[in-house]
Amino acid sequence: MVEYNNIKLNRKSNQYLYIQLYNELKSMILNGVLTPHTKLPPIRRLANLLKINNATVVNAYKLLEQEDLVYKKVGSGTFVKNINNKDIRYIETHSEERYLDEKNRNIINSNQIQINKNTINFASATPTPDLFPVTEFKSVLNEVLDRDRGNAFGYQESQGYLPLRKAIKKYLINSNIITTIDSIQIISGAQQGIDILSKALIDYGDIVFTENPTYAGAISSFKSRGARIIGIPIEKDGIDIKALENKLKSFKPKFIYVMPNFQNPTGYSYSVEKKNKLLELAYKHDLFIIEDDYLSDLSFFSSNNQTLKSLDTENKVIYIKSFSKIFMPGLRLAFMVTPISIYNKVIAAKHMSDISTSGLIQRAFDLYLRKGIWKKHINYMENIYKKRFEIMSDSIKKYIPKEVKYDLPKGGLNFWFSLPDKYSSWDLYNFSLKNNIIFMPGSIFYVNKEDDHHFRISIASIYSSQIENSIKYFSEVINSFLKKTNNEIEKGDSYRPIL
Ligand SMILES: Cc1ncc(COP(=O)(O)O)c(C=O)c1O
């Protein structure tokens, strides 16, 4: 029997009662207290029980329906949906390319996006499989199986395998992050970290700040929790501090989500001044910063790749470290360093998500770190990516048409371009696709998809030997596109406003 009278609503809170009720019912659904197909109480009964208006219940039920957590049966009432199916769909749509919007899904549906072996893939920011250290990983896996036998297959504690947390604590000292093993949370990929933090920290209607453009997976997670996202422009030396200060005068965000080193998608890094200024503002406004460090290891031509976490003296930075771009994305392994003040919420959200990250993988990675194989692997990856990066930078300077503007980054995997205002990167995408080239149109990285003339290319999935020719060919394709589109604009038969 579900105890609805345990629902606590705070009439003194400045959050609307219907949002509080919605949040309570939502956690009951996500925690499994309300099981699939359970009927929610009739509106009047719940309103009487909680001593609130009928409209408050109606609005809370409406929100649950909008979030796809309940369904209505005409004449019978409101019922809890089976959310397991939803989780499966979410996992399937994890990879970055899947955040492409409706327009691209149509392209995929109409079979135009055949990524065959001749397609030049500038879109994907995932390492090529030949870079994965399969032999070394096989040997640590075998060692774990011989050592731990069945223990490697039991449930692992939600916070993470203790020896691995100890190894990570030690590893972090190299990047000047001094922390405790209690502050380290193992997660199944940085995307899960973002999602867990969203679950733990965001209530429906809360405000969240991000850089704009930003990582599309973060936008999706925050939106899925009902957050209102305010995007702060990013400049080539970091976030626009003036714009941030102005927004902080009008809004009290739950947190700001940033990538201070080799930002995705722009590749830009914050200057030391902007890193310090951002921390200063966080301290002044009592604001959490979520730092997504997915790439600081790949700093080829800059020594300014300190993480915010290493500069944070007041424990306001929640640090997320992914191993996907420098190790093996399919392991689904990453970690967070979180302030102890949010420990309880984080651990509850992690447990709700997947109970724990695979114990077997954690044990294997622990050995991998301790044996120092990790360091060798990072050096190896750095060398490969650095070579690709240099060839890419030289080729861009040599071939990319002058109408297309860019600021070359000093490391990382991504390069960001802007077309002249009247051209659409979606149109260029469609045109390039027909010529066997794919890249990421910029609009997916904008909070409201508001910009249509930027695009991102990545070196992760393209070999050094292919880069120069591919950029030369891409530049020819861009030139034809500019010419063709210009003719169409002059004829007036293609140009349409971007809404
Ligand atoms: C900025 C950023 N954060 C997080 C992720 C997700 O990483 P993971 O594979 O560790 O979940 C990505 C993946 O592309 C990313 O670009």
pLDDT per position as a tens digit, 202-221: 999 999 999 999 999 999 99
264 C-alpha to ligand 1 centroid (Å): 9
Does the beta carbon of 217 lie inside 6 Å of ligand 1?
yes
Q: Which of 96, 294, 321, 328 to mutate to test the pocket of ligand 1 (most atoms within 8 A of CB)?
A: 294
- Spatial separation of the C-alpha atoms in residues 257 and 38, rounded to whole Å: 36
Does the beta carbon of 264 lie inside 6 Å of ligand 1?
yes
Could you tell me the two tokens for 178? 């001094």
215 C-alpha to ligand 1 centroid (Å): 8
The DSSP letter of residue 304 is -
Q: Which of 188, 194, 220, 264 to mutate to test the pocket of ligand 1 (most atoms within 8 A of CB)?
A: 264
Does the beta carbon of 96 lie inside 6 Å of ligand 1?
yes
- Spatial separation of the C-alpha atoms in residues 411 and 226, rounded to whole Å: 34
- Spatial separation of the C-alpha atoms in residues 385 and 197, rounded to whole Å: 31
Q: How far is CA 275 from the centre of its chain?
A: 20
In the prediction, which pLDDT does 35 show? 86
| Ramachandran bin of 410, using left for φ above 0, alpha for ψ from -120 to 50, beta for the remaining angles | alpha
Dihedral angle sign, alpha carbons of residues 172, 177, 179, 184: negative
Asked if 300 and 267 touch (Cβ cutoff 8 Å), the reply is no
Tally of CA atoms within 13 A in the half-sphere of 289 that contains its CB: 32
123 C-alpha to ligand 1 centroid (Å): 14
In the prediction, which pLDDT does 88 show? 28
491 C-alpha to ligand 1 centroid (Å): 43
- Spatial separation of the C-alpha atoms in residues 161 and 410, rounded to whole Å: 35
In the prediction, which pLDDT does 66 show? 78
**How many other β-carbons are positioned within 10 Å of the β-carbon of residue 148?**
14
Could you tell me the two tokens for 427? 């149109």
| Ramachandran bin of 189, using left for φ above 0, alpha for ψ from -120 to 50, beta for the remaining angles | left
Give the closest residue (by CA) to ligand 1 atom 7.
190
**E strand residue ranges, 324-413:** 334-337, 405-406
Could you tell me the two tokens for 317? 């930075």
In the prediction, which pLDDT does 346 show? 96
User: In 312-452, where does DSSP find H-type helix?
Assistant: 343-354, 359-370, 373-399, 425-434
Q: How far is CA 382 from the centre of its chain?
A: 23
Would you write out the chain's pLDDT as a tens digit for each of its 499 residues?
Answer: 788 888 989 888 767 888 889 888 988 887 778 888 999 999 999 999 999 999 999 999 988 887 778 999 888 899 998 765 433 222 223 345 555 545 554 443 333 344 666 789 999 888 888 889 999 999 999 999 999 999 999 999 999 999 999 999 999 999 999 999 999 999 999 999 999 999 999 999 999 999 999 999 999 999 999 999 999 999 999 999 999 999 999 999 999 999 999 999 999 999 999 999 999 999 999 999 999 998 888 888 878 889 999 999 999 999 999 988 888 888 999 999 999 999 999 999 999 999 999 999 999 999 999 998 988 898 999 999 999 999 999 999 999 999 999 999 999 999 999 999 889 999 999 999 989 999 999 999 999 888 889 999 999 989 999 999 999 999 999 999 999 887 776 665 544 433 3
493 C-alpha to ligand 1 centroid (Å): 40
Does the beta carbon of 294 lie inside 6 Å of ligand 1?
yes
- b/e string for 466-480 if b means 16 or more Cβ within 10 A? ebeebbebbbebbee
- Spatial separation of the C-alpha atoms in residues 123 and 116, rounded to whole Å: 14
Q: Nearest Cα to 307, choosing from 325, 287, 321, 324?
A: 321
Does the beta carbon of 292 lie inside 6 Å of ligand 1?
yes
CATH of domain 157-369: 3.40.640.10
Q: Which of 322, 331, 444, 456 to mutate to test the pocket of ligand 1 (most atoms within 8 A of CB)?
A: 322
Dihedral angle sign, alpha carbons of residues 370, 376, 379, 381: negative
Q: Nearest Cα to 474, choosing from 441, 437, 439?
A: 437
| Beta-strand relationship, 288-293 and 120-121 | unpaired
- Spatial separation of the C-alpha atoms in residues 28 and 49, rounded to whole Å: 17
Q: Nearest Cα to 52, choosing from 24, 91, 82?
A: 24
- Spatial separation of the C-alpha atoms in residues 19 and 63, rounded to whole Å: 8
Could you tell me the two tokens for 369? 């770190």
Does the beta carbon of 259 lie inside 6 Å of ligand 1?
yes
295 C-alpha to ligand 1 centroid (Å): 9
- Spatial separation of the C-alpha atoms in residues 413 and 462, rounded to whole Å: 11
Q: Which of 95, 197, 298, 324 to mutate to test the pocket of ligand 1 (most atoms within 8 A of CB)?
A: 324
Is 462 exposed, middle or buried, given 0-12, 13-18 or 19+ CB atoms closer than 10 A?
buried
Q: Would you report the helix, strand and coil content of the chain in percent, each value rounded to 5? A: 50, 15, 35
Facing residues of 235 across strands? 238
In the prediction, which pLDDT does 117 show? 64
Dihedral angle sign, alpha carbons of residues 156, 160, 166, 170: positive
CATH 3.40.50.1970 fits 93-130+376-491, yes or no: no
Does the beta carbon of 295 lie inside 6 Å of ligand 1?
no
- Spatial separation of the C-alpha atoms in residues 490 and 181, rounded to whole Å: 64
460 C-alpha to ligand 1 centroid (Å): 13
324 C-alpha to ligand 1 centroid (Å): 7
Q: Nearest Cα to 495, choosing from 406, 400, 423, 415?
A: 423
Q: Would you kindly state where each structural domain of the chain is located, as residue ranges? A: 4-86, 93-130+376-491, 157-369
- Spatial separation of the C-alpha atoms in residues 103 and 402, rounded to whole Å: 28
Asked if 320 and 291 touch (Cβ cutoff 8 Å), the reply is yes
CATH of domain 4-86: 1.10.10.10
Does the beta carbon of 125 lie inside 6 Å of ligand 1?
yes
Q: Nearest Cα to 256, choosing from 311, 298, 201?
A: 201
41 C-alpha to ligand 1 centroid (Å): 40
- Spatial separation of the C-alpha atoms in residues 382 and 466, rounded to whole Å: 18
Per CATH, 4-86 and 93-130+376-491 having the same topology is answered no
Tally of CA atoms within 13 A in the half-sphere of 64 that contains its CB: 30
485 C-alpha to ligand 1 centroid (Å): 34
Angle at 193 between CA 262 and CA 162, to 5 degrees: 110
